[in-house]
Amino acid sequence: MIYYIAKLSRFGRKHPLERKEVIVSEQELARQKEFTRKMREMNDRRTRTPLALVDTFGCQQNVADGEGLMGMLRGMGRHSAWGPSTRST
């Protein structure tokens, strides 16, 4: 699987984005999935559900990245610290 990482310069707008191709091996993906499975099992054995909070500042892409991160945490058995009724918009 290939991921692209974009990086801004230290001051943001003075230089164009640098793109770096990162190749993630199948073995690394399998290792990460195994870790996620083990975390899920550990969290499922707890008497209290562990919570996670991802607070986002900035643009829509930051929000999308935060939602992706929260999805990974849910995959590990975490629940959102903010319920649907308390989430800010």
Q: Using one digit for the tens of pLDDT, what is the confidence trace for 18-41? A: 666 778 888 988 998 999 999 999
The DSSP code for 59 is: S
Please return the burial class of 73, using the count of CB atoms within 10 Å of its CB with bins 0-12, 13-18 and 19+: buried
The pLDDT value recorded for residue 86 is 43
Q: What's the rounded mean pLDDT across residues 57-69? A: 84
Query: Which residue bears the tokens 């945490």?
Result: 73
Instruction: Kindly state the tokens that stand for 35.
Output: 């870790």
Q: CA 49 to CA 76: how far, in whole Å?
A: 11
Q: What is the pTM for the complete model shown?
A: 0.57
